[in-house]
Amino acid sequence: MSHPKKKWGQHFLRNRGAVVRIVEAVEPEADDIVVEIGPGEGVLTEKLAELPNALVAVEIDPELSERLRAQFGDRITLVNEDAINAPLPAQPYRAVGNLPYNAGTPILRRVVADPNCRRAVFMLQKEVADRLVARPGDEAYGYLTLFVRLYASARILMTLEPKSFYPPPKVRSAVVVLDPDRKPFVSDELIALISASFRMRRKKLVNNLLDLWTREEILAAMASAGIDEGVRAERLALEDFAKLGSALAP
């Protein structure tokens, strides 16, 4: 048994039924590479290695990497790097993994925005998973919801209690399936607009955008996009932000 390291947010999956469902959800096509992020003790790796696809495992922990290398040999390609900046395949791939709690969100954002990703099946904190499937007006709805929605559709596959892991985390976890759905209007400018819109959640949208535009410019753009001037960001759908972004563009 491995000793989980707090600095990397390690919680090892022990629920065998969950392992089977996660691997089944990957559904790789013949030419897909499978990329496992954070294999840890190799519980998922063991099942993923049975697939006919090439398997790349990205593990930050050098001790666990050595153990996985000894266990799986040339059945997998092992990358001992941080998944936040490890190279992603330059060809179609499916990503899967029990993401570390302290780095799950940046890894998730990086993978869904990558044009070669055909599907991601990720274990995350339930609270993060709820953000991915939230709707306008929900408490969980915010920047992360909309960033992911620019690139993918999300659904929750299952929820897991703390006892499914060692050591048990203080929160529940959920497995999310993300399928590519890149919106035609995705742009860095739109992402910056959405980020600014949620800067202070309780503020009206117009007040959150005053660092970027004048009140007159914002109100004119909101009127042009058919958006009420007293609205808060959490009430707007992704398409509303796209219209507002077009109206604010020079």
Rounded distance between C-alpha atoms, residue 121 and residue 188, angstroms: 25
pLDDT of residue 244: 98
pTM of the complete model:
0.92
Please give the full DSSP string across 193-233, using - where no structure is assigned.
HHHHHTSSTTS-HHHHTTTTS-HHHHHHHHHHTT--TT--G
pLDDT along the chain (250 residues), means of 10: 47 74 97 95 93 96 92 95 95 94 91 98 95 97 98 96 73 93 98 97 96 97 97 98 93
What pLDDT does 15 receive? 63
pLDDT of residue 4: 46
The predicted pLDDT at position 7 comes to 45
DSSP secondary structure of 111-162: HHT-TTEEEEEEEEEHHHHHHHT--TTSTT-SHHHHHHHHHEEEEEEEEE-G
Question: What pLDDT is recorded for position 9?
Answer: 47
Q: Where are the domains of the chain?
A: 6-180, 188-248
Q: Which of 154, 250, 239 is nearest to 194 (CA)?
A: 239
Q: Which residues make beta-bridge pairs with 31? A: none
Closest C-alpha to 112, from 159, 50, 54, 179 = 179
Phi, psi angles (nearest 5°) of residue 90: -90, 20
How far is the first Cα of the chain from the last one, in angstroms, to the nearest whole number? Answer: 59
pLDDT at 16: 74
Question: CA 85, 88, 94: angle at the middle one, nearest 5?
Answer: 125
- How high is the pLDDT of residue 5? 44
Domain 188-248: give its CATH code: 1.10.8.100
CATH topology of domain 6-180: Rossmann fold (3.40.50)
> Quick one: which H or E segment has residue 63?
helix 62-72
Q: In angstroms, what CA-CA distances link 72 with 34, 39, 54, 78, 157? A: 15, 12, 13, 9, 28
